[in-house]
């Protein structure tokens, strides 16, 4: 079994290199009509450290573009975005938690442990290369519109990426492995999950709950516990195609535990490569 996964891993790594070049031609998840100057962190009234001289510290509220020039090892949150139109470049560095990651559920609480938290901030870009590891959630978008997560390695977190109440995001060409959950979305819409490698996460690979109009395309998803790609009964009008999904205990692609696709109008294209689908026929 290890040799089989190694073969797939090598093959799909090559595909991701090609996909990275292809994805650069795709339009970024742009925002139209976003409200300038929004600062969700300030409104929370939290007393948090500020970044100094463009070099962020653990727990800093980032209000301008930053490029890491060293690793960060944090007891609480790594970085918190406090303004629109911010880019965080990990620049080959690691943001790591040295605290306990013991979240029981995925409900967003501002006291929880996030590698990068984006609350109510629009057009935020988080790019690698770089690693975020050991947090309750490596990257969290909540109440945000427009954004990009690209070229990161996210591992050993409870959830690698958590999206709630957010739209127009693009999650692309990331390596997401050995977390409890890969990508989790709730109450969100019009986001893209494209060309990621999502492997060996303990419970689930990609999970959409009450999330609509997603593009889930060109991902390699294998050996992620029960389900590779799961959409619940409240997730509508999503398009899932050209994904390689295999090695899951319950289903590689699962539409609401077998709900007929014409009920929630999800579209599973003809180019998914998978073994077990619920309902039958979507693989």
pLDDT tens-digit map of 110-120 = 447 999 999 99
Query: Which residues, other chains included, contact 265 with Cβ-Cβ below 8 Å and sequence gap of 6+?
Result: 236, 237
pLDDT tens-digit map of 135-178 = 999 999 999 999 999 999 999 999 999 999 999 999 999 999 99
What value does the mean pLDDT of the chain take?
A: 84
pLDDT at res. 104: 41
DSSP conformation class of 5: H
Query: Residue 107: is its pLDDT beyond 70?
Result: no
pLDDT tens-digit map of 173-204 = 999 999 999 999 999 999 999 999 999 999 99
DSSP string for residues in 19-80: HHHHHTTSPP---SSPPTT--HHHHHT---PBPBTTB--TTEEE-S-EE-SS-EEESS-SEE
pLDDT band at 21 (very low <50, low <70, confident <90, very high): very low
Query: Residue 256: is its pLDDT beyond 90?
Result: yes
CB contact at 8 A, 74 and 96: yes
pLDDT at res. 221: 98
**Residue written as tokens 């060409």?**
173
**Residue written as tokens 């999502």?**
198
* Alpha carbons 169 and 180: distance in angstroms, whole number: 22
Q: Domain boundaries in the chain?
A: 32-191
Across 254-263, average pLDDT: 96
The structure's pTM equals 0.81
Across 244-256, average pLDDT: 98
């Amino acid at each position: 079994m290890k040799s089989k996964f190694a073969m797939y891993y090598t093959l799909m790594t090559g595909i991701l290199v090609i996909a990275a070049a292809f994805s650069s031609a795709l339009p970024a998840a742009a925002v139209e009509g976003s409200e300038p100057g929004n600062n969700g962190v300030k409104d929370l009234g939290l007393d948090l450290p500020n970044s100094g001289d463009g070099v962020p510290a653990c727990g800093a509220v980032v209000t301008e573009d930053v490029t890491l020039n060293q690793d960060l090892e944090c007891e609480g949150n790594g970085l918190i975005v406090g303004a629109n139109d911010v880019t965080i470049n990990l620049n080959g560095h690691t943001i790591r938690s040295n605290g306990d990651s013991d979240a029981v559920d995925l409900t967003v609480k501002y006291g929880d442990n996030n590698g990068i938290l984006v609350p109510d901030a629009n057009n935020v870009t988080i790019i690698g290369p770089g690693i975020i590891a050991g947090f309750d959630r490596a990257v969290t978008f909540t109440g945000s519109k427009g954004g990009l997560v690209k070229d990161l390695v996210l591992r050993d977190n409870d959830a690698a990426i958590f999206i709630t109440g957010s739209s127009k995001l693009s999650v692309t060409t990331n390596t997401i492995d050995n977390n409890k959950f890969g990508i989790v979305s709730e109450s969100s819409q019009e986001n893209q999950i494209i060309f990621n490698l999502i492997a060996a996460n303990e419970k689930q690979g990609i999970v959409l709950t009450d999330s609509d109009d997603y593009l889930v395309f060109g991902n390699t998803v294998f050996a992620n516990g029960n389900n590779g790609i799961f959409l619940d009964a409240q997730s509508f009008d999503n398009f899932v195609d050209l994904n390689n999904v295999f090695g899951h205990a319950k289903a590689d692609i699962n539409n609401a535990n077998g709900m007929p696709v014409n009920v929630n109008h999800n579209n599973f294209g003809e180019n998914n490569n998978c073994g077990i689908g619920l309902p039958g026929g979507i693989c």
